[in-house]
Amino acid sequence: MQLSGNNRHSFLLAIHQSIEEEAAGSAKELLQGQVNEPAYPPNGGFTTEEEGALKLLQNNEVLQSAVRKVLADCAAGVVFNLLNLIDGTSDPEHGDWTGVMLVDKPRNNEEYRELLHDDFFEAYWNWRETRPDKTWCLDTFSE
């Protein structure tokens, strides 16, 4: 069984809506001088110097528009790469990969299954260990 046309349509629209909303919200907060601790990666955060630099960006509408576009493009690139993995048109560089399928869930099927989003943040630490460029990292954990 494959993904139905209705679910495919809803899934892709939800992704685009999420990209737009997240980019717009982050850009707005940033340009209002609200420097919130990032949720990604775990133990992320900003250094004092980074917080100061981000505050220099506040109150500039044109910059807010540009930042929104940069954030949206970044998020869209990640989603596009994820969809290529699901479609089988690319393979991950790490691990033993057999491919995956995105299929419709049968109605009234509430059986237990492991959920990917539950493992997402914890998997960062595995990525951090295997990533090729060790000269910098997103988190504030010192090695």
The per-residue pLDDT for range 12-71, each reduced to its tens digit, is 999 999 999 999 988 888 888 887 778 788 877 888 888 888 888 888 888 888 989 999
Q: Tell me which of 110-114, 125-129, 131-135 is least confident.
A: 110-114
The answer as to whether 140 is a domain residue is no
Q: What is the pLDDT of residues 96-124, one digit of tens each?
A: 888 888 888 888 777 777 788 888 888 88
Residue 141 within a domain: no
**Structural domain count of the chain:** 1
How far is it, in rounded angstroms, from Cα 134 to Cα 143? 10
pLDDT of residue 74: 94
DSSP-derived secondary structure letter, 141? -
Residues 6+ apart with CB under 8 A from 37: 44, 45, 46
pLDDT in the model for residue 27: 87
139 pLDDT higher than 80 = no
> Which residue segment(s) compose the domain that 87 sits in?
5-130
Residue with tokens 């909303």: 21
Provide Rg for the chain, Cα atoms.
18
Rounded distance between C-alpha atoms, residue 114 and residue 86, angstroms:
17
Whether 19 is in a domain gets the answer: yes
Within a domain: 137: no
pLDDT at 141: 67
Which of 6-10, 36-40, 81-85 comes out lowest in average pLDDT?
36-40
pTM score of the predicted model: 0.76
91 within domain boundaries: yes
Whether residue 94 lies inside any domain: the answer is yes
Residue 11 main-chain phi, psi, to 5 deg = -60, -50
79 pLDDT above the threshold of 90: yes
99 domain-assigned = yes
